[in-house]
Chain A
Amino acid sequence: MTEPLLEMRGVKLEGRSDETWNPIINGVDLTLARGEVLGLIGESGAGKSTLGLAAMGFTRDGVRISEGSVEFDGIDLLKASASVKRGLLGKRIAYVAQSAAASFNPAHRLIDQHVEGPTQHGVMSKAESEVDGMELYRKLRLPDPENIGFRYPHQVSGGQLQRAMTAMAMACRPDLIIFDEPTTALDVTTQIEVLASIRDIVEQFDTAAIYITHDLAVVAQMADRIKVLLKGDEVETADTRTMLSAPTQDYTKSLWAVRSFERPLKSPVVASAVPAVSVQNISAAYGRVPVLHDVSFDMHEGRTVAVVGESGSGKSTAARCITGLLPPREGTISVNGEVMPADYRKRSKDQLRQVQMIYQMADTALNPRMSIGEIIARPVQFYLGLTGKAKRARVDALLNQIELEPSEYYNRLPSELSGGQKQRIGIARALAAEPKFIICDEVTSALDQLVAEGILRLLAKLQDDLGLSYMFITHDLATVRAIADEVVVMKDGRVVEAGPKAEMFTPPHHPYTDLLLSSVPEMDPDWLTNLLQERGVDNIGDAAVGKM
């Protein structure tokens, strides 16, 4: 075997907090051959991004490499001088960040930022590099490759920007690229296109890559080998196919098993039943921009209705209409057969109580200066008029319901909780109002898979115990499969298809539903290849959506 391109030996990383150094990575080995793609997976906080940066000999502020060695093509990156590293980074090692929108300078055009690397390193002249950039744009299947470079970052879509960033990383034809969750922020239909382009170009130039992600199905498409990290330790490393078919460690198995959670089917709704919430023919607009067109659907007691669609499809706007934050132009919202005033300011306290909401970002949904007890107690006091011991008893009961120990969590601040725990507090605050209907707005999309699964199980259990109905807004079809009873598919502010889950997941579908369903990555490593063959290279992602 030839010399490996990158060799990390016993790397230990430490992060500084409260004047002490705490370990982030406890001695991980990593070898990468030329042209090989290594998938690095783990939950948030597992240290995968930190390790990815360390592979470049770089650490963020407040992080240091305390032990170990990083050798890139015979050069020890940790002992190399600043000028040697300057010659390597960008030229032979490149980095693609998670948020392309935050990584491009909004004041300069794409091509101007593209040529910076090659001209700085003296690889190409500015003119050569511009021509080469267009060639790369073509290879990455960006539309109109000759001209797209002359646009500013805000003038292209998120998926296109991510590909432009990949092109920029490729500009000097590096030997190694580190991809840090490049598709996490994208819709499924857009993601597929970026994945296909990245995979192609990495293969064409025989570039080695470290692909960091928390999505197993994505890494299965991209990587030759997978390394699983847990809290700074390596769990296991194996060939992608071996890893998927026969994981040896319990943790890896549990990651694989998350996708198997599914609720039993419920009997169909009685046709004459009054729906818990009924949305009838609503149209809404932000100022002059129409967002919803004649949207209608019903949600019944004890059921979960999943509303799916890409970002911009109007699913969150529908929720804002139901809560009354955005009064619809036309149409009505009724709860248990009673028509609600369109504006939330005109609704009575009891009407407000009946519709509760759980937010996507638990961080911004909880007041950081209030203790958990105060946050949950407020609706208890506000709606139910409980005070003193009765209030405290109710809050304790709610904390027990969301499976957190009351005595331990009552006095804590939100910042002292993990992401999953914060989301549970959000659920408790909604429950405190004793509603019959709760809107869950992407409640699991900011969470790790294992934590998200716990939240889904909790929501399912609460539904069975309390007879709640949920409107579950999501773009993740795996979540839909796990929790929904009925599905509403939205696109461009219209309901494309609606019906019980069983119907939705069996053909024939509406073409858009079909596209959505087939775009969800599967754990099969051949999935992307097969899909591309099936659809044709030019018929994926935005292009396919555009043809609809």
Chain B
Amino acid sequence: MSTLLTIIAAFVVMGGIAWVLRLAGQKATNNAPQFRDMSFGVAFGYVLGVVVLAWLAWAFVQSRSSDIAVANKFFFFGVAIKGFIFFSIAAWLFRLFGRHVGTQWSRKTFRHMPLTASFGVLAILIYAIFAIFAGVIAPYGQDEIIQGVAANITPGGDPAMGGNPAFPLGTDQIGRDILSRLIFGAQNTVGIAFATTLLAFFIGGSLGFLAAVVGGWLDQLLSRAVDVLMAIPSLIFALLLMTIASVWSSRLGIPLTVFMVLIIAVIDSTRVFRLARAVGQNIVVMDYIEAAKLRGEGMWYLVFKEILPNATAPLLAEFGLRFCFVFLMIASLSFLGVGIQPPLADWGTMVRDLAAFIMFAQFAPLAATAPLLAAGAIALLTVAVNFVVDWMLHKTSGLKE
């Protein structure tokens, strides 16, 4: 009860401060329009923003406190704030770099790029490099149980906290290097997600455009089939099909991963189909398509020369989003045990395997970090891709004006 009262009192005080400050601003600037037309809500928003910032600064100081109990409580806040500052600076430097190096086109692109997008591009680039050169970069193999080294070494590399400088991110429950597994995980998870998304776009995109151009009964048939597929919850449907596939894969001698790629691609292609069909239908009614039809052009020319170039922007944006969903679906399937199979490293599996360490968060936050590393890698990539997608959507909608 008293907590509630404190919160209410805090809001009232903040409101009062906002009102007084706005009045002071009006007096000091002799009724400049920005103060005169400022609504109370906006003034309150400024005060609230300042309070939140102050609290974040206080929390950061707390996380560095010499009292271990207090420091542990704010450990993850500290990490988040440090990460935020680090990534902001990295993104800013990357954009600065992009503005001065490269072709005229790339320099122009970077000049108009918001910081979020440059962070997204940077993160995607780093992930791509790790995924492609995993074998070279990773210090150990992904399934290598290192002899003579204990399992469950705490991340951080500080011997006082149960770490080991040779394994900066620690080892897992059977003594494999987490850093190496994270890097190989990028290759497995991201690579498979990328292939799956490409396949989904090929299937959904081509069928969607076909439905838009031909129309009539073909459109009806494809659209209703897609409706049926979409009516089934996708994760449950994927789980069901994966269970069936696991029987087939051993019988036919085809790796389960191939089945997983196919199943997720088909399920996700329904969403791509709907988008491609909608975008295609808007383009098909344009006069230039009519002109091309009257010229006697064939279906292939219509779809690839007239429609596809005008649909790239929304499709590309959708590609980014779809990639995230596919990626999360693979991680979920792996977490549930039917996705990428051990001993291959996969972020979803890694989270599941180390999940028990979450319990240590209260008193040994470093130990609890172990499962969060893989989760963080997933989150970071998802956020990065979404930033880039937002930026591209903004750019294409700006072009239309």
Task: Write the residues of chain A forming the contact surface with B, with a CB cutoff of 8 angstroms.
Answer: 19, 81-82, 323-325, 344, 347, 349, 352, 355, 357, 359, 361, 364-370, 378-379, 382-383, 429, 433
Q: Is the CB of A352 within 8 A of B291?
A: no
Q: Is the CB of B288 within 8 A of A344?
A: no
A-binding segment of B248-256, B294-302, B335-343: B294-302
Q: Is the CB of A367 within 8 A of B294?
A: no
User: A325, A352, A367, A382 — which one has the most chain B CB atoms within 10 A of its CB?
Assistant: A367
Q: Is the CB of A382 within 8 A of B296?
A: yes
A349-B296, A368-B310 as given contacts; A429 in contact with B291, CB under 8 Å: yes
CA distance A368 to B311 in the complex (A): 11
A81-B37, A352-B296, A382-B297 as given contacts; A325 in contact with B290, CB under 8 Å: yes
The closest CB in chain B to the CB of A368 belongs to: B310
Question: 6 additional contacts, CB 8 Å, given A325-B294, A369-B310?
Answer: A352-B295, A364-B288, A365-B286, A366-B288, A378-B295, A382-B296
Q: Which residues of A contact B224 (CB under 8 A)?
A: none
The closest CB in chain B to the CB of A79 belongs to: B33
A364-B287, A368-B310 as given contacts; A82 in contact with B295, CB under 8 Å: no
CA distance A382 to B293 in the complex (A): 12
Q: Is the CB of B297 within 8 A of A344?
A: no
Q: Which residues of A contact B37 (CB under 8 A)?
A: 81-82
Q: Which residues of B contact A365 (CB under 8 A)?
A: 286-288, 291
Q: Which chain B residues in 125-184 approach chain A with CB under 8 Å?
A: none
A82-B37, A367-B309, A368-B310 as given contacts; A357 in contact with B296, CB under 8 Å: no
In the complex, B318 has a CB within 8 A of chain A: no
- Top 6 nearest A-B pairs (CB, nearest first) are A369-B309, A365-B287, A359-B287, A367-B288, A364-B287, A352-B296
A81-B36, A81-B37 as given contacts; A344 in contact with B291, CB under 8 Å: no
The closest CB in chain A to the CB of B39 belongs to: A82
The closest CB in chain A to the CB of B283 belongs to: A367
CA distance A94 to B298 in the complex (A): 53
The closest CB in chain B to the CB of A369 belongs to: B309
CA distance A366 to B309 in the complex (A): 13
CA distance A378 to B291 in the complex (A): 11
The closest CB in chain A to the CB of B286 belongs to: A364
Task: Write the residues of chain B forming the contact surface with A, with a CB cutoff of 8 angstroms.
Answer: 33, 36-37, 112, 286-288, 290-291, 293-297, 306, 309-310
Q: Is the CB of A379 within 8 A of B295?
A: yes
Q: Which residues of A contact B290 (CB under 8 A)?
A: 325
Q: Is the CB of A359 within 8 A of B297?
A: no
The closest CB in chain B to the CB of A17 belongs to: B401
- Min CB distance, B41 to chain A, in Å? 14
Q: Which residues of B contact A352 (CB under 8 A)?
A: 294-296
CA distance A347 to B36 in the complex (A): 70
CA distance A104 to B286 in the complex (A): 26
CA distance A369 to B289 in the complex (A): 13
CA distance A456 to B288 in the complex (A): 22
CA distance A412 to B290 in the complex (A): 22
CA distance A366 to B297 in the complex (A): 15
- Contact with B294, one of A323, A366, A368, A369 (Cβ below 8 angstroms): A323
CA distance A68 to B233 in the complex (A): 61
Q: Is the CB of B291 within 8 A of A359?
A: yes
CA distance A423 to B294 in the complex (A): 18
Q: Which residues of B contact A324 (CB under 8 A)?
A: 294
Q: Which residues of B contact A367 (CB under 8 A)?
A: 288, 306, 309-310
- Min CB distance, A413 to chain B, in Å? 11
Q: Which residues of A contact B287 (CB under 8 A)?
A: 359, 361, 364-365
The closest CB in chain B to the CB of A323 belongs to: B294
Q: Which residues of A contact B297 (CB under 8 A)?
A: 382
Q: Is the CB of B295 within 8 A of A382?
A: yes
- Min CB distance, B81 to chain A, in Å? 32
Q: Which residues of B contact A325 (CB under 8 A)?
A: 290, 293-294
Q: Which residues of B contact A368 (CB under 8 A)?
A: 310
CA distance A112 to B309 in the complex (A): 45
CA distance A323 to B293 in the complex (A): 11
Q: Which residues of A contact B286 (CB under 8 A)?
A: 364-365
Q: Is the CB of B309 within 8 A of A357?
A: no
The closest CB in chain A to the CB of B306 belongs to: A367
The closest CB in chain A to the CB of B287 belongs to: A365
- Min CB distance, A460 to chain B, in Å? 23
